[in-house]
Structure formats: structure tokens, C-alpha cells
Structure 1
Amino acid sequence: MTKRERKVIIASSLGTVFEWYDFYLYGTLAAIIGRQFFSQFPPATQAIFALLTFAAGFLVRPFGALVFGRLGDLVGRKYTFLLTILIMGLSTFSVGLLPGYDQIGVAAPIILVALRMAQGLALGGEYGGAVVYVAEHSPRNRRGFYTAWIQTTATMGLLLSLFVIVTLRLNLGEDAFQSSQPLFLGLTGGWRIPFLLSIILLLISIYIRLQMHESPIFQKMKEEGTQSKAPLSEAFGNWRNGKIVLIALFGLVIGQAVVWYTGQFYALFFLQTVLKIDLLTANVLIAWALIVATPFFLVFGSLSDRIGRKPVILAGCLLAAATYFPLFSALTNAANPTYASAIQTVRAEVVADPATCGSLFDPVGIRTFTSPCDIMRRTMSQQAFRYTQVDAPAGSAPQLVVNGGAPIAFTDAKGFSEALGPAMVAAGYPAANDPAKVKITGFFSALASVQALKVIAILTVMVIYVTIVYGPIAAALVEFFPTRIRYTAMSLPYHIGNGWFGGLLPATSFAIVASTGDIFAGLWYPVFFALLTVVIGVIFVREKKGVDLAD
């Protein structure tokens, strides 16, 4: 690797790490942010609106890909992703300065949503620019390895955000971090500090990227006057290119996306929401798995230079689909053994007239449930109690029967929720302070616990799956499209796959859990799409490893 190539990779990768750091801060702190900006709503509704605001950043990513992809193909790679990091950094810094609902009322959540959408738009343009820029500077026989450095940035950004948050939590204390730490201008809460620190990262990124030169392939095309005059219509307005976009989306990206979000986000969500592992412990365990597995992005990127992008990505999708159920079962046994035993031995039955029980599928969390049967089942899912539904005669009042004992009748939502926990604990589910659950008190204390090491090992396997599918994906997408429309054409399928199919995975998977009563049922979402990608990829995707990008 030449000095110039190293500079290109470092400049592109560092900027992208900072951008992902900005993006993930909100997701990691969504619960705290919900209490600050949606305080006019009940706690459950606060969490829902906070997650919907987080989802808004994912939903607009494809539009950012169109806007900035077009700009990148018209004006150039360098200035476009210089602009995207400026938008991302200023948006993130502004979240740290934004007063809460108690200070400025309804303007607070409106501005917050606008800032999240600006972040999503910027990220939609950032990734494609960084990947194309590095690829167009890379030797064709090392393109997978060089672009794999960009692939590490999402994980490194998540790891950096987790490190800053965990450090502040340990040093400030939980109360000060969430709300009481005084800052300036009447603002309080240590959670704002990671957002405010992003201004330092922004200045570093801008300085580095101002030293960069335009991609030589794009510069040559521009000097010859052969660049596209209408990248959007050329990329998506004719079947020849549009067909390739669809093949890339369904034959590579969707499977990669669901494996990526399962291994890094749904695993964290599962630890906290289903297994009831405290926030600090869950974050530290995931952080260690990321540290151990991140070098494998380079391993599998390099492997794709030798055997091809397609076999590596599709093998990762197939491996993940085949092993997710046993892996999450092992994770449950290792992290919360009492709970793992309870879901096998405790028999909880919601006995109700089937006519009064509807679908609980609610991936965006905005439905209101009024039927007693629906409220009972939803409450059980939210508290992570496994149940089965048993049909009762028409007109029967719904009730919960645990291990064949005396029925628990439904009176109202609050009364049922308060009665449910003690009944299930008495039947064998763990109490909130169950000593058998994995728990750590510091970052390095995880390495002194056999139980924590088991959990880290399982999580590391999942993150290695992420590296298999994600390491080569950048090189694969870059090689699919000509220079004239490369920025535009590769960015859209990537951000539809990762922003929509991947970004909505945690909410959709948990909605499946809530609607079935089975804590593992949500895994059918990534398994289905990973297998779909394997089938479509095997049939339709053509291997293009090492093609001449200037051709």
C-alpha cells in the first residue's frame, strides 16, 4: 500500500467513523432522549416516539442517496462527501444544544425530528462517496481489502459511541448522566456531552478531507467531458441499469443488511428488552464482541479479492440463517439461565374467546389495543413472558392460567400488569435482581467473569457473520456500475436495503415476538431475508471481482 493510498483510506475511513458515531448516538440514547423531548406523553409512548424519531433517520437515507449521489456524479466525490459530513456533524452537535419539551414545548420534538432527518439524508450520501472514492483509488486486485477499511467504520462508530457513553455513565453516575448534570445555558444532563463532543470530530474530519484530491477516474472522465448529465434517469430510468440495481438490492444487500442489524443491533435489543440485562452490562458485552470481531472485516474483504464477492457474501447469509436460532438460544442460557429455564418449564396460557383476539403486529408502535385479550398478550410480550393462546367458548372472559393454577382474571390494563409480574416470578421466572443474570460493573470487569466471557463469545460469532457479509459488499456494489453513475446507482440499493429492511429490523422482529408470544419468533425476519438473498444471488448475481472501474 502506497503512502497516497494509505492517506486516501485514512481520510475516508476516519470521516465515516465520525459520521456513524453521530448517527448511533441517538439510537443508543433513545430512551433518555424520549424522556427529554416527549415528556408530555406517558413513559411507554415516550419510548415509542423516540424509536420512531430514530427510524426517521433510516427512512430518509435512500433519499439522501439520490440527492447526494446525483451531486457526486455531477460535481465530484470529494466535495459531495465533504458536504455530507458537515451536515451530519452540525445536526448532531445541535441535538446536544436543543432544549427539551419542558423548556420550549412542542418545538423541541419537531426540531429533533428535523435534525434526525438531516442526519439520515447526510448518511445516505456519505457512505457511497467514501466507498467510491476509496475504490477508485484502489488497485483492482486489492479492491476488496481496501474498501473493507470503510466497512469497519460503521462498527467502529458504534464502538466509539458506546465507549463514550459507558465512560460518562461510570464517571458521572446514572442520575447525572440522564438528567441532573448541569452544563450551560440552563441545559442539564450528561447525555448531551457525546453530542457536543461531535464538534471536535467534525473539525478533524473537515481538515482531513480538505487535504484530499478528486478521484483520478472521475477527474479523467470530467476532463474528457464524458460524465453523466442526468445520473438519476440514466441509473434508474432505463431497464438495463435499473435491473442491475434490483439484482444488487435483492441478491446481495438485503441479506447483508438483516445479518448486519441482527448481529449488532437486535442482539443488543434482545439482551436489554427480552433478557432484561441492564444497559451498562449489555453495552459493554456488545462492545467487547465488536473489538474482537472488527479485524475480520479486512479478512473477508481480502478473501473476496481471491475467491469473489458473491460466494463470501452469500455464504455469510446462509451461515447466519442456519444458526441464528441456536445462537440466540445459547445467548439466553448464558446471559439469563433462570429465564432460559422458565421459558421451557413455565406454562402460561391466555384463555380467551378467539373472536376477541386480534393481530398484535405493530412494527412502528402506534396502534392502540382495547380488547382485553390483546392487552393481556401485549403486556406479556412487553414483559418478555412466553405464552400460548388457548381458545375459550364464545363470550368467555379472558384469563391467564399459569401452570394449571388458579386463573388470573383481567380487570384493567394496569391491574393485570401489576398482578402479572409477581405471578410469573412465583411460577419460576427470575426476579429483577436475580443474581444468576450476567452483570458487570466496569469495562474490564467483563473479562474476569466466566459468564460474561461466554456471552461475549456468542455475540462475537454473530458479529463475525456481520464481517463476512459486510466486508466485501462495498467492492461488490462499486463493481456493478460504471463511473458515470456509480455514486448514484450503488448508493440507492445500499440505503434501501440497510435503511429500510435493516434499520426497521429490531422493531419488526419485536412486533413478531409480541404477536406470537415466542421470544425467538422475531428471528424469522432476518432468516427469511437472508435466505431470499441466497436464492436470488445464486441465480441472478454475476461475479465482477477485479473489473476495470474506468471501463
Structure 2
Amino acid sequence: MATVDESLANKDGEPRHHAATQNEKLVIAASSLGTVFEWYDFYLYGLLATHISAQFFSGVDETTAFIFALAAFAAGFAVRPFGALVFGRIGDLVGRKNTFLVTMAIMGLSTFAVGLLPAYGTIGVAAPIILVIMRLAQGLALGGEYGGAATYVAEHAPNNKRGLYTSWIQTTATFGLFAALLVVIGFRFAVGEEAFAAWGWRLPFLVSILLLGVSMWIRLQLNESPVFQKMKDEGTTSKAPLTEAFGQWRNLRWVLIALFGAVAGQAVVWYAGQFYALFFLEKTLRLDGATANILVAVALALATPFFVLFGWLSDKIGRKPIILTGCALAALAYFPLFGALTDAVNPALARAQALAPVTIVANADECAFQFDPVGKNKFEGSSCDIAKAFMAKTGISYANQPAPAGEPATVRVGTTPFTVPTPAGLSPEARRAAIADFQTRLGEALAAVGYPPAADPAQIDRVKAIAVLWALAMLVTMVYGPIAAMLVELFPSRIRYTAMSLPYHIGNGWFGGFLPTTAFAMVAATGDIYYGLWYPVVIAAATVVIGLIFLPETFRRDIDQ
């Protein structure tokens, strides 16, 4: 890739380094507003996962239903790389503008349809199946949206302001999440929690049809990218962008370096700092959904300007040091930050965990994995299963200690042991009575040492909670602010839409999108409420190492070829 030739002008006749023109401002505004809408659509599902699990996965137990809801959320991310291939190819063949008009229409109509979809109680198993189909459509659309918007803005930007210009695209994910949070919070307060849980959760999906109309009108005002238009006029567009991008090692190696040396770490930092933090507040710390949404919304509002700041800074010092520093800080800070979040939001839980930690003493070979994909297993096959099933329902963190084979499991609350009944040899009636007695005694013991059933709003340190959430969001701005400019600069304009979209959506769709589901499954397997953090920590640390060795600096490159 060539370096910048300062003596030349851009395709509009402007010097390569110039103040933003009115047309460029319109490009940034229109691209960003349209992308905000698409992220709003996509994030609604994540914010309403608890309600969706109750409406569409009510045929299984609560824990399994929530994991299924997260899995359906992740399904939209799973297909994003395929959307990147389909729409990236179209974008490199026929143009940037028309491609992301199509992706927007698919996203908007799929979101609106979710608001109309009958629940499990009305149409049975067809409900979750149709829901997943809608999520897949959203994921395909989003797979084609981001690369088009980032490429479109970057190809309009002066060479010394690509980080600044594309950073506005980077704010759209957070603005979309922020807009979704505000709409959800507004409807929750307008109709009340009971009505919102019953039917009000549909309203944020239904009002999206109005946003779709506005966003489509805005996007229709734009012209084609000058870089693509010049290639089209000269007949130099790629005839086979997929083959050229991924079938030639000189391009494929940059796809792999971008994925493992930048995007994978950026993705897990992003989803840990925004989505996993929200789920952690609701499902682990037992904070009510409305308060959790408000805390996250305030933190995001405070952090969002830093996307632009770090984009601007990357034009001065480079993309690589900012992205890798953010990944390194995340790997070092996640465990203390999430611990501090527990202290701030549910101090009673934090005190109980410190003063009376729970330990399950059992033979590991006699313990089942506490996840039931069909909702039929009651986990009563062994005393270990009985103990872990009860602890999984409480959401309380516990440690595991091995015991000799054949011995009944024991649950220790602090230093007080509770022997778990062994079901073998008991009649069904005797087994149920023994389990009920054990659960009653253990529940009373947990309450006696201070384990709360839910976070107490009166005890929340809101300033500290927002500060921790803001710190998590700041790490997101560091890794995400410069990433679009870096990806655009890595690839030639003939295959840019295709080549940059795939690593971005594999990273964010798979490494990031599966983070909440994977992390909660890791927690369910171990009993440690913080164990799921190892997922983003390990990937972020690996990205730092790979990026330091292989990732080039790109901020002085000329992208007009």
C-alpha cells in the first residue's frame, strides 16, 4: 500500500489534507444515523433477553431459557461473517451506497416482525424457530452494513482525518445501544413493569418501523463513494472480490492478521464492557432491569465522546498503539473491575461472599453439567447434582472441592456443613421430601449469613457503579474508535468492502457475539460468578501479543488505490 503523496488532490479536487466540506459532513451524518438505526434494531434483542426468554422459551426451566435466549441473540452474530461475504461482494461489484440501503431494509423489517411474533404459549415451538430466523436475517444484514458504512466514510475522508471521520461510525453502535436503552426505559416507566413484561416489550420493536423510514430517506440523499465511482468509470473494479480477497495469500494474510491481531481483542472488550456487564448486573447481581439499564445508559453517555477522541488521536500517533493498549488494560483490569461492580451494586452479596463463602465438596465424576437443553432434567441423579442445581438457582458463587468417590456431597456455608441427601435407594416421595428439607435448611442458612435474594436499591452506590461501568466503556472506546480506519487502510479499494468486512464480523460476530453465552456457560460449569471473565481476558491478551508482532501501522497510508 502506498504512503500519502501530499502534493496530490483527492478525487473531488480538494487537497488531501483539508477541512471537512459540507458534502463530507453530510456523508458522516447520514452514514452514522443510518447505522445507529441498524444497531438499535440489533441491540433491542440483547436488552430484552430476559423478557424474550420468558415469552419464547417458556417450555424449559428459567436458567436454560435464559441461556437459550442468549444463544438466539448470538445466532444473529453467528451469521454476520456470511452477511459480510454476501454483501461485501455486492458492495465491491455494484457499489457501496445501494448495498447498505438493502441491508438497512432487511434489518428494519426483521426487527418490526419480532414485535408482531406470537409467543410460545400461542403457537408453541414455532415461536422460537421464527424468532431465530428473524435473528439470522438481522445478522446477515448487519454483516453487510458495517463494512459499507466504514468504507463509504473513509473513502470520502482526507488522508489525515480518516480516524476522526470513521470514529463517528464507531459511535453508532453505542448510540444505537443508548437509543435502545432510552426507548426500553421509557416504555418500562410508561406502561409499568408488569404490563411491560406481558406485552410492552413489543413496543420498542414496533416503533422501529418509523426509524426505518427516516433512515432510508436519509441514506437515499447520498451519492456513491468517489473512490468506487472512479474505479467504475475506469473499469478497474474487481470482477471476483471473494477470490481476490481470500484466494490470494498476499490479501488473505492481512485478513488473518487483522482478525487475530486486532479485531478479536477489540470484539471481546466491546461485548464484555457493554453487553456482558449489563447481563452481569441483571442475572448475577440480581439488579432489577430498569435500574441496570439506567446505570449502563449513563455510563455510555459519559464515555461516547471518547470514540471520537481516540479516532482523532489515532490520526496523530497511529491506530495500533491505541487498540493494543486498550486490549492490554482490559486483560489486566476485568477481574478487579467486575469485583468492584459487585461491591457497588450488591454490597450485601459481596460481604456474604467474603465472610461466608460457599463450597461444594463432591466427587467431580458424580456431578452433571448444570445445563439442560430440553428442560427435562431435574438434576437429582446424585447428591452433587442436587447441591449444584440448588446453587445454580440462587446465582450465588461457590467453590468446588473434591471428595472421595461414593461419599455424599456436602455444602459448606462458611464453616457450617450441610450434607446433601443421596437419592439412590429412596422412593420418589422420600427423595422429594429429603430434597425439599435440604433446600429449606440451606436457603435459611444462606439468608442467615447475609446472602440477599436480590440487590437492594437502597444500598446501591450509584456513583461507584457508574464509575466502574464508565471505565469498562472507556476501554471499549479505545479499542473500537480507531478500528474502522485501520481495517479500511489494510486493504486495496478493489476488494476493500469484502476484505475488511469478513475479519470484522468474524471477530465481532463470533468472538464477541458468543461472549455472553459462553461466559454464562462457564459460570454455570464452575459455580464461580467471575469465571466467565477468563474468556475476554485470554482473547484480549492473545490479541496484544499477535498484534505487537504482526500488525502493521497504517495511519499514513493512501487508500485511493
When normalised by structure 2's length, the TM-score is 0.90
Q: 1:248 corresponds to which letter in structure 2?
A: A
* 8 Å CA contact 1:382, 1:514 repeated in 2: no
Partner of residue 448 from structure 2, selected from 411, 426, 434: 426
* 8 Å CA contact 2:285, 2:454 repeated in 1: no
Corresponding position: 1:398 with 2:409: yes
Residue equivalent to 1:29: 48
5 Å-filtered alignment, 1:225-264, equals 225-264=235-274
* 8 Å CA contact 1:277, 1:437 repeated in 2: no
CA distance in 2, matches of 1:58, 1:15: 19
Residue equivalent to 1:223: 233
Structure 1 position 26, deviation (Å): 1.0
CA distance in 1, matches of 2:115, 2:261: 40
Q: 1:426 corresponds to which letter in structure 2?
A: A
Of stretches 387-396 and 18-27 in structure 1, the one that deviates more from structure 2 is: 387-396
Residue equivalent to 1:163: 182
Counterpart secondary structure, 2:411: strand
Partner of residue 535 from structure 2, selected from 525, 533, 536: 525
Residue equivalent to 1:109: 128
Residue equivalent to 1:271: 281
Structure 1 position 402, deviation (Å): 1.9
Residue equivalent to 1:19: 38
Partner of residue 503 from structure 2, selected from 493, 507, 520: 493
* 8 Å CA contact 1:89, 1:198 repeated in 2: yes
Partner of residue 320 from structure 1, selected from 307, 330, 338: 330
CA distance in 2, matches of 1:85, 1:114: 17
CA distance in 1, matches of 2:126, 2:474: 42
Structure 1 position 284, deviation (Å): 0.4
Shift of the 347–488 alpha-carbon distance from structure 1 to 2, 3 Å rule, reads same
Structure 1 position 269, deviation (Å): 1.3
Q: 2:398 corresponds to which letter in structure 1?
A: Y
* 8 Å CA contact 1:377, 1:514 repeated in 2: no
* 8 Å CA contact 2:67, 2:520 repeated in 1: no
Which residues of structure 1 form unaligned runs of 5+?
Answer: 180-188, 439-450
* 8 Å CA contact 1:48, 1:365 repeated in 2: no
Shift of the 325–104 alpha-carbon distance from structure 1 to 2, 3 Å rule, reads closer
Corresponding position: 1:85 with 2:95: no
CA distance in 2, matches of 1:366, 1:20: 32
Shift of the 50–150 alpha-carbon distance from structure 1 to 2, 3 Å rule, reads same
* 8 Å CA contact 1:335, 1:437 repeated in 2: yes
Q: 2:24 corresponds to which letter in structure 1?
A: E
Counterpart secondary structure, 1:390: strand
Q: 1:304 corresponds to which letter in structure 2?
A: S
CA distance in 1, matches of 2:99, 2:273: 31
Residue equivalent to 2:365: 355
Structure 1 position 54, deviation (Å): 1.3
Structure 1 position 359, deviation (Å): 5.6
Q: Cα deviations across residues 466-498 of structure 1 (Å, max 9, x unaligned)?
A: 000000000000000011110011011001111
5 Å-filtered alignment, 1:430-509, equals 430-432=452-454, 434=456, 437-438=459-460, 451-509=461-519
Residue equivalent to 2:353: 343
CA distance in 2, matches of 1:287, 1:209: 27
Corresponding position: 1:549 with 2:559: yes
* 8 Å CA contact 1:363, 1:508 repeated in 2: no
CA distance in 2, matches of 1:190, 1:82: 30
Partner of residue 395 from structure 2, selected from 384, 392, 398: 384
5 Å-filtered alignment, 1:155-234, equals 155-179=174-198, 189-234=199-244
Shift of the 419–3 alpha-carbon distance from structure 1 to 2, 3 Å rule, reads farther
Q: 2:145 corresponds to which letter in structure 1?
A: E
Counterpart secondary structure, 1:483: coil
Q: Cα deviations across residues 230-258 of structure 1 (Å, max 9, x unaligned)?
A: 11111111211111100000000011011
Q: Cα deviations across residues 48-105 of structure 1 (Å, max 9, x unaligned)?
A: 3322221110111111011100010011000000000000001111111222233333
5 Å-filtered alignment, 1:38-57, equals 38-57=57-76
Q: Cα deviations across residues 291-331 of structure 1 (Å, max 9, x unaligned)?
A: 00000000000000000000110011111111112111211
Q: 2:524 corresponds to which letter in structure 1?
A: A
Amino-acid identity (%): 61
Of stretches 405-414 and 254-263 in structure 1, the one that deviates more from structure 2 is: 405-414
Q: 1:424 corresponds to which letter in structure 2?
A: L
RMSD, matched Cα: 2.1
Structure 1 position 547, deviation (Å): 1.2
Q: 2:277 corresponds to which letter in structure 1?
A: A
CA distance in 2, matches of 1:285, 1:467: 18
Shift of the 56–517 alpha-carbon distance from structure 1 to 2, 3 Å rule, reads same
CA distance in 2, matches of 1:534, 1:205: 37
CA distance in 2, matches of 1:34, 1:146: 39
Residue equivalent to 2:161: 142
When normalised by structure 1's length, the TM-score is 0.92
Count matched residues.
Answer: 529
Shift of the 167–539 alpha-carbon distance from structure 1 to 2, 3 Å rule, reads same
Residue equivalent to 1:441: none
Counterpart secondary structure, 1:165: helix
Structure 1 position 533, deviation (Å): 0.5
Counterpart secondary structure, 1:547: coil
Partner of residue 7 from structure 1, selected from 13, 21, 26: 26
CA distance in 2, matches of 1:5, 1:367: 58
Counterpart secondary structure, 2:556: coil
CA distance in 1, matches of 2:206, 2:530: 38
Q: Cα deviations across residues 114-133 of structure 1 (Å, max 9, x unaligned)?
A: 11110000000001110000
Shift of the 365–315 alpha-carbon distance from structure 1 to 2, 3 Å rule, reads farther
Counterpart secondary structure, 1:191: helix
Counterpart secondary structure, 2:236: coil
Q: Cα deviations across residues 504-543 of structure 1 (Å, max 9, x unaligned)?
A: 1112122222333322222111111111011000000111
CA distance in 2, matches of 1:211, 1:52: 37
